[in-house]
Amino acid sequence: MRSAPTILHLDMDAFYASVEQASKPSLRGKAVIVGGLGPRGVVATASYEARVLGVHSAMPMSQARRLAPNAAYLVPRFALYRSISDQVMALLRALSPLVEPLSLDEAFVDLEAGGTAWDERSARLAGTKLRADIRAVTGLTGSVGLAASKMLAKIASEEAKPDGLVVIEPGTERAMLEPMPVRTLPGVGPATGDHLRRAGIHTVGEIAEAGEDELVRLLGKAHGHALYAMALARDDRPVVAERETKSVSVEDTYDVDIHDRVRVGLEVQRLADRCVRRLRGAGLSGRTIVLKVRRYDFSTLTRSETLRGPTDDPAVVREAAARLLDSVDTTGGVRLLGVGVSGLADYTQEDLFAQAAGGAGEETPEGEEPETAPEPRPETPAERRWPAGHDVRHAEHGHGWVQGSGLGRVTVRFETPGSAPGRVKTFRVDDPALEPADPLPLVDDPPDLLETTGTRGTPDAPSRPRPLEA
C-alpha cells in the first residue's frame, strides 16, 4: 500500500434526490423519493429527510409509501442525471488521468498519478477544493474519502456523509477498522454477515483475530483469504481508468403480469429497438443476443444466440430475440422482459441479412419506436403521459414540473431552480398550451473551472518539490 492518502473516493450525496431538490425549490428540506412508481417499483434514491423515516434504496416502493406517505414520489430523469454526472467526472479528470467511475455518482481518483497530491496535506487540499468546485458547478454536495487504498477511501467517504471529507492517514488503518461492524468491509452482505455473526464474529477486529484458516473454513478459500486481507487493511488494487463494456442491455418490469403471447412478442421487439439505440449511441456492435424473461413465479430464464459477426442492425437483433422467445414458455404470465447484446466490438459486419428468420421480417414494424412510447390504445389515441417530477412548459405560466396526473388531469407546480417555491395549477392532460420541456440548469452561469485550472492539478495546493537534475 501507499505511504500517503492519495486515493480519493467521491460519492455524491443522495444524488438523484438531491438533483430533484436542487431543481425544485418547493422540495428542499422535504422527503423526496425517486424510483419506479408502479406497484412493483423500487426506490432508486431517497433524500436524507426520507432516510430518517426508514426509506432506503432498493426498497419496494409500496413499503416506502407506508413509511413516508407524505413524501414527494418522482420518476427518475436519467438524461439530467447523466449530464450532471458528466460535469462531475470532468472535474475528477482534471485532477488525474486515472479516474475509475463506479456509477453516475461515484468514482475513485488516483491523485498521485495526476501529480495533484503526494502527502496528507496536498491530498486534503485537493479533496477540499474538489468539493467546492462540485458545489460551484452543479449546486450539489459530495462526500470525499482519502486513503492509501481503494477500500479505505470508500469507507472514508461513507464516514464523511453527508457533505464531508474524511482522511485516513497511513498507519492508522487497523485501529480505525477494528471496532467497525463486519458489514463495513466490501463483499460482506447480509448472508455473509449472518454467517460470521453465528460464528461469534461481529467486528472487523474479530475477523483479524479469528485468523485466516478459520475464515477459509467458514467462508471458503477465495472469500476467506480476501476477507482476512481486508480486515488487516491490505488492498493493493489500482485505480483503473477505463472499464471495458461487456454488454449493453435494457429491461422493463411490468405492473401487471403479461399473459398475451402477442403482447409479449411486441414488448420484446420494443426492447430490442431500445437496446440497439443504446448500442449505437455507444458506437458499438455485438455478436451475442440475450433474452431475459422473469415469469409470474419469479423464476428467471435467459436465452442467448451468437451471430456470425457483430451487428447493430435493429432488424437482426429483433429477429434473434424473437427466435429466443420461441423457446420460452410464458403461459403463466411474464413480469419482466429484457434484451441485451454482448460480445461487443467497435465495428459491424454488414453481411448479416441471411441470419434473419424467414418471413420474420414481414412482421417487423418499420422504423424505431420511441423509447417512452406507450402501447397504442384506440379509445384514447391522443392522451399524453405526464411522469411525476418531469419538466413541462405552459404557454402562459412558463416552466414547471409535474406533481401528479390521473383521471384526465395533470397538476403542475410552476417554479425553476433559481425561483422561490412556485404556485400549483391543474390542467386537462390534453391541454394544447402544456408541453414537455427540457430540464433547466441547476446553476446559472456555472464557472468554467476546467478553463481556469487547466487539465491537471489544483492551483491552491503547494508545488511538489522537484528533484535536482543531474
C-alpha cell at 171: 498507519
DSSP string covering 116-157: S-SSHHHHHHHHHHHHHHHHHHHS--EEEEEESSHHHHHHHH
| Cα–Cα dist 47/163, whole Å | 13
Whole-number Cα distances in Å, 337 to 50, 270, 294, 328, 333: 31, 10, 6, 12, 11
Residues 17/36, Cβ–Cβ less than 8 Å: no
Beta-bridge mates of residue 427: 410
C-alpha cell at 232: 488487516
| Cα–Cα dist 224/231, whole Å | 11
Closest CA to 172 of 43, 1, 374, 41: 1
Q: Any idea which residues carry the catalytic annotation?
A: 106
Residue 329 CA from chain centroid, whole number: 32
Beta-bridge mates of residue 414: 423
Residues 187/167, Cβ–Cβ less than 8 Å: no
For 342, phi then psi, to 5°, come to -125, -170
Whole-number Cα distances in Å, 441 to 80, 137, 444: 9, 10, 7
C-alpha cell at 466: 522537484
